[in-house]
Amino acid sequence: MGHDAGTVHTLRLVNDSAYRARLVADPKAVLCEESGHHPVQDFAVEAVEQRDDTLVILLPARPEDGEDFGERLTEVSQRVYDVLFSSGVGGFLIPDDGLKWVLRDIRSSWAARAASEE
Amino acid sequence: MTEPYRPAGPRYEGTPGPCPTGEDQDLEAALTRRAWADPAFAARLEREPLEALASMGVRVRPGITVQVRLQRRDTLYYVLPPAKRPDEPDRREPVNLMDLWRSGDNFVWLLPERLKTELLAMRRSFHQAQAGTDETRSSHGA
């Protein structure tokens, strides 16, 4: 079965401990390097590893300036998303729409690069 | 950052309105409120999560690790499936994927399926502890 570049990358993260360690150490650098896309926008990437003995909590982002604390708290604390994995699930959490197209552009660039290397 | 919300007048019962500080009945609401209102506590949650949770009365079974992050709007969180064990053969099946857009509006738990009873226990024991100290609410068996 032929895998596309994204699938190959994800399987490498599972199977290749050196590759995984490199990504975990600097996820933004590895993603930009692999995809060939270096966004001008200022942003960070954090790797969140799933482990057999670990519960990870990602708290909702703080209210923005001018937002009502109580209203936001009520809304977001009722939007709870439980992800229970067995062999694992990968992907992204994108806290804000401001980074939506940054991620999509990284992916487009990656796919285009992979296609041109075939 | 805005001030923590403190309503004047009576508490709210049975409605999803804001609760006075310290009386959120659900673990997620209480944790979120405190992390937002108290940057030192948020830092402690990230640095020494078990101790910070214990200070809120949340205890976790020994041998289980908890990791907490407060989502930042300028950050993408790249969730990695578990690494294969060194003795395992290479995995070949494509990994399940999920993307959560506007995840900053969500409280997200990532945990192995086998720890689901632990999550339920954390929620239940927190809820019962809060309900037990709430004088005006009758205690339900749940």
The predicted pLDDT at position B1 comes to 54
CB A49 within 8 A of CB B82: yes
Please state the pTM of the whole predicted model: 0.87
In a domain, B47, yes or no: yes
pLDDT band at B17 (very low <50, low <70, confident <90, very high): very low
| φ, ψ at A75 (rounded to 5°) | -65, -55
The predicted pLDDT at position A37 comes to 94
Q: What is the mean pLDDT of chain A?
A: 94
Measured between beta carbons, which residues in chain A are less than 8 angstroms from residue B112? 50-54, 84-86
Q: Which of A20, A13, A18, A15 is nearest to B89 (CA)?
A: A15
CB B80 within 8 A of CB A24: yes
pLDDT, tens digit, for every residue of A37-76? 999 999 999 999 999 999 999 999 999 999 999 999 999 9
Reduce the DSSP state of residue A76 to 3 states and report it: helix
What is the least distance, in Å, from the CA of A114 to any CA of chain B? 17
In a domain, A62, yes or no: yes
pLDDT > 60? residue B45: yes
pLDDT band at A12 (very low <50, low <70, confident <90, very high): very high
In a domain, A36, yes or no: yes
pLDDT > 70? residue B2: no
In a domain, A30, yes or no: yes
Out of B3, B84, B107, the one facing A14 most closely (by C-beta) is B84
Quickly count: other Cβ atoms within 10 Å of residue A103's Cβ.
19
pLDDT, average across residues B31-55:
97
Which ipTM score applies to this complex?
0.96
| Count of domains for chain A | 1
In a domain, A35, yes or no: yes
pLDDT band at B5 (very low <50, low <70, confident <90, very high): low
Count CA atoms within 13 Å of residue A105 on its CB side: 12
Domain that holds residue A98: 5-112
pLDDT > 90? residue B122: yes
pLDDT, average across residues B52-56:
93
In a domain, A93, yes or no: yes
CB B3 within 8 A of CB B78: no
| Count of domains for chain B | 1
In a domain, A71, yes or no: yes
pLDDT > 50? residue B10: no
In a domain, B33, yes or no: yes
In a domain, B15, yes or no: no
| φ, ψ at B137 (rounded to 5°) | -105, 130
- Sign of the CA dihedral with B52 first, then A75, B75, and A48 last: positive
Q: Say how many CB pairs under 8 Å bridge A and B.
A: 302
pLDDT, average across residues B96-105:
97
In a domain, B102, yes or no: no
pLDDT > 50? residue B141: no
Domain that holds residue B29: 20-63+108-133
Out of A7, A58, A85, the one facing B69 most closely (by C-beta) is A58
Q: Which of A99, A91, A103, A116 is nearest to A7 (CA)?
A: A91
pLDDT band at B15 (very low <50, low <70, confident <90, very high): very low
Percent over 90 (pLDDT), chain B: 69
Q: Which of A30, A3, A36 is nearest to A118 (CA)?
A: A3
DSSP element (H, E) containing A66: none
- Cα(A44)–Cα(B75) distance, rounded to whole angstroms? 5
In a domain, B127, yes or no: yes
Higher pLDDT among residues A118 and B111, named by residue = B111
pLDDT > 60? residue A27: yes
In a domain, B10, yes or no: no
Q: Tell me whether strands A89-94 and A44-49 are parallel, antiparallel or unpaired.
A: unpaired
pLDDT, tens digit, for every residue of A79-95? 999 999 999 999 999 99
Give every CB contact of residue A59 below 8 A, 6+ residues apart in sequence.
B31, B32, B35, B42, B45, B68, B69, B70, B71, B107
Reduce the DSSP state of residue A56 to 3 states and report it: strand
Relative orientation angle of helices A69-77 and B27-37, to the nearest 10 degrees: 140
Higher pLDDT among residues B44 and A115, named by residue = B44
